[in-house]
Amino acid sequence: MSEPFNWFELFEKERESMIPPNVLVVGKTGVGKSTLINAMFNGNIADTGVGEPVSKHLQKYTREGVPIAIWDTRGLELSSAAQHAVFQEIRSEIRDLIETGDPVKQLHVCWYCVNDFGNRIEQAEIDWIRELSEQLPVVLVLTQTYSKKKLDFYQKIKEMQLPVKQIVRVLALGMQFDEGLEAQSHGLSELSEITFQLLPEQLQKAFVAAQKVNVEQKAKTAWKVAKLTIGGSAAAAALPPGSDLAAIGVLQATMLARITNVFGLEYGSKFFMAVVGGVAGRLGIGALAAFALGKIAKFTGIGYVAGVAIDATVTVAVSTALAAAYINVCKKALLGRLEGMSEDQIAKMVHEEFERKRNDGTDASPDDKV
């Protein structure tokens, strides 16, 4: 089958359409900001040397292919006078961004990090939190929470009734102690979900793609994206005979590109081109056998209007099954369950998932567990 479009260009177009959120991360040196950032997002964004200086005490971290921008503060461990100068600089930067009038360029949410293990928050930090909360939503992140049961400091912070959206206890990386004791990583999925809810809707998809800790958040967002595209494929079924299959094929391929981008697989474009290309060969994207019912109806005595109705129903069922199947496989890829499998084996898996989901018709949906 000759391909009517360029797979790579299609994937890149969808990737570049995502608008990266700007997350401000505030906290003293040693509080674990870099560990938190790298544990949350793809690409080890906070690695040394990646940041772009915005000002003397503000660094912006980005990574090609990861749709997020992290703004990191430095100098909070300085003297009181120096801290005041640092905050003035950050406040000025926030004001300048607001004055651009472009909501995409704003700082969208702040993670204010305090070390839970240190069991202390300074008055200067409380003042910062209060001032920052007047400019943008603030989430207070208690880092290095080695014990889930030790809640003294958390309760103390809670009683202060600081103007924060949420207080989240996080251990970004698991720790091993003497005598075989171990503290497991926790809190990242909760922080991801809270941040997602605080972001403007047009930025949520990019955030989901960038984060790597909340698989279900990715699956839900991918399914939402898929259903929007499926509506377009149903509309394409009403195009004049001979043109609709190509249009539906492009929409289905676009849907799979969007799903791949939402999952934020580090080898996303390669995965998409290899696997989806294989699926196209197996299922005949652009010429799916399931559309035969609609084609027969259009070119026989059933009539064009009746044919459109059949085509639209079948199109929705096929596209829904394809989306559900592909999301299931992307979840498995993210969980490391496709390691060692060839591209053809993965494409075969999508095909098998598709056949299983197609039996559910328009009620098909991704599996809760894969």
| CB-based contact 249:4 (threshold 8 Å) | yes
Kindly tell me if the per-residue pLDDT of 2 is higher than 70: no
Q: Which of 165, 198, 231 is the last residue of a domain?
A: 198
β-pairing, 58-63 vs 52-55, is antiparallel
| Domain membership flag for residue 313 | yes
Residue-wise pLDDT tens digits, 176-228: 766 666 778 999 999 999 999 999 999 999 999 999 999 999 999 999 999 88
Which residue in 7, 20, 98, 19 sits closest to 60, CA to CA? Answer: 20
Of the three residues 173, 198, 223, the one that is the final residue of a domain is: 198
Q: Residue 232's pLDDT band (boundaries 50, 70, 90)?
A: low
| Position 62 in a domain | yes
Whether residue 345 sits in one domain with residue 302 = yes
If asked whether residues 226 and 167 sit together in one domain, one would say no
| The pLDDT value given to residue 362 | 59
pLDDT tens for each residue of 25-43: 999 888 999 999 999 999 8
Both 90 and 127 in a single domain?
Answer: yes
Provide the percentage of residues in the chain whose pLDDT is more than 70: 78
Q: Which domain holds residue 329?
A: 7-14+209-363
* β-strand partners of 227: none
Buried b (16+ CB within 10 A) or exposed e, 237-272: beeeeeebbebbbbbbbbbbbbbbbbbbbeebbebb
Q: Which residues pair with 53 in a beta bridge?
A: 59
**79/120 Cα distance (integer angstroms):** 17
Q: Are 177 and 214 part of one and the same domain?
A: no
Q: Of 135, 163, 198, which one is at a domain's C-terminal end?
A: 198
Query: Could you tell me if 185 and 257 lie in one domain?
Result: no
Report the SS3 class of residue 90. helix
204 inside domain: no
Cα 267 to Cα 194: distance, rounded to the nearest angstrom: 27
pLDDT at residue 358, rounded to an integer: 80
| 124-136 confidence digits (pLDDT tens) | 899 999 999 999 9
Burial class (CB in 10 A: 0-12, 13-18, 19+), 295: middle
Contact 20, 210 (CB under 8 A): yes
